[in-house]
Structures are given as C-alpha cells and as structure tokens.
Amino acid sequence: MARLPILEYPDPRLRTRAEPVAQVTDELRQLVRDMFETMYAAPGIGLAATQVNVHKRLLVADVSEDHDQPVCLINPEIVEREGTTTYEEGCLSVPGFTDSVERSAWIKVESLDQNGDPQIVEAEGLLAICIQHEMDHLEGKLFVDYLSELKRSRLKKKILKQRKLNPTAPEPASAPLS
Ligand code: ZN
C-alpha cells in the first residue's frame, strides 16, 4: 500500500477529463487500495482518481466515522436524482477552504465495483454530496467552479501567495471532505 500525492488547485492536471475504465485489473485494484489509504490518511471522505493524477473514471468514498463503509465506484453514472441540498464543502485539492455548494439530495448511481461487477448505489445526505463532488473531479471540475468568478480569483491569489511564502511547509489542515 502506498499513499499517493494529491494534486492541488490550481494545478492544470485537475482539469483533465477522465477516461472510462476499460477493464478492472489487479493493477486497478491496487490503485483503489492506495486511494483508500490516501483518503483515510488525509483525512478525507472521498477521493477521485483525478486528484492522484490518474485520469480514469474511478472514485472512492467513505462517509462513516469508523471507516467501515468504503464505497468504490468505477465508471459511475448518475441515472436518477431528486431534490436539492446545500452543504459546506471542502476538497483535499483545495486545502484550507470551504464554501457552500448546491447538489442533488438523492442520487442513484450505476457503476462497477472493484471486481468489475455492475452495482447500483442509492445515496442521500453526505454520501450523495460526496459522490457528486468526486464525479465532478472526473469531469475536470472543482467545487470552487461553483463560486463567483471574483471569489474564485481571490481564492486563487490567496493560495498562490501562501505557497510562495512558504513553499516547503506541510499541507494546511483540510476540511474533512474530499
Ligand atoms: Zn475534491
């Protein structure tokens, strides 16, 4: 197992649109294990392959307190959605920053599991929010894209300034999202 480096905004690689997974191989399963380890260590509740610079349609999540409800979605597609909900989101790729984003409150997602078998996940609450956030990553989209342009450009300046002032500092504490 290995912890993987997480790309940080405004890294242009976070804008890559992920390709579908053609086959669930042992190599891919190893990536899934590494992504879980990286997510739990961060700590976060979700991680998209895009964030670890692998541009395949794959995400992991676990919104439980005890890390005992791991969810792995390969080639996820939202086939049904209902309602709306707003949550103060954070992102491991935008450390130290949160803002509220509106998402669907309930979703039904078709995907493959780690064995390559089809699975249907119905999610609401935090898991639904997390899956939508991670699926955005697979499209090269970040939660900060939902902010106004002014707010986003201020955030970008702030992050670049922090990095310039203290380029070797450890990562700032992240909000416990993905
Ligand atoms: Zn994120």
Task: Work out the end-to-end distance of the chain between its first and last CA atoms, rounded to an integer number of angstroms.
Answer: 20
What pTM, to 2 d.p., does this model score? Answer: 0.90
Of 59-63, 144-148, 170-174, the least confident: 170-174
CA distance 38 to 137: 16
Asked if residue 89 lies in contact with residue 59, where contact means CB atoms within 8 angstroms, the answer is no
User: Is pLDDT at 175 greater than 60 in this prediction?
Assistant: no
Residue 173 confidence class, pLDDT cut points 50, 70, 90: very low
- The answer, yes or no, to whether residue 93 has pLDDT greater than 60, is yes
Cα distance between residue 36 and residue 65, in whole Å = 14
Give the C-alpha distances (Å, rounded to integers) separating 95 from 16, 68, 70, 99, 133: 19, 25, 23, 12, 15
Residue 68, pLDDT above cutoff 90:
yes
- Place 168 in a pLDDT band, splitting at 50, 70 and 90: low
Q: Which two tokens stand for residue 124?
A: 């609401």
Taking the centre of ligand 1 as the mean of its atom positions, its distance from the CA of residue 68, in whole angstroms, is 21
Residue 13 has pLDDT above 60, yes or no: yes
32 vs 21: CA distance, rounded Å: 12
Amino acid symbol at 22: A
Establish whether 37 is a catalytic residue. Answer: no
H-helix segments, the chain: 26-41, 125-138, 149-165
The pLDDT assigned to 169 comes to 52
In this structure, what are the phi and psi dihedrals at residue 60, rounded to the nearest 5 degrees?
Answer: -125, 155
Ligand 1 centroid to 14 CA: how many Å?
A: 10
User: Averaged over 110-132, what is the pLDDT?
Assistant: 97
Q: How do strand 99-112 and strand 71-89 relate by DSSP bridges? A: antiparallel
Distance 119 CA to ligand 1 centre (A): 23
Residues 54-79 have a mean pLDDT of 97
List CB-based neighbours of ion ligand 1 within 5 Å.
91, 178
Omega prior to 10 cis, within 30 of 0? yes
Question: How large is the average pLDDT for residues 50-79?
Answer: 97
Q: What percent of the chain has pLDDT over 70?
A: 93
Choice among 8, 134, 139, 149 that is catalytic: 134
For residue 90, the CA-to-ligand 1 centroid distance in Å is 7
Ligand 1 centroid vs 101 CA: distance in angstroms? 12
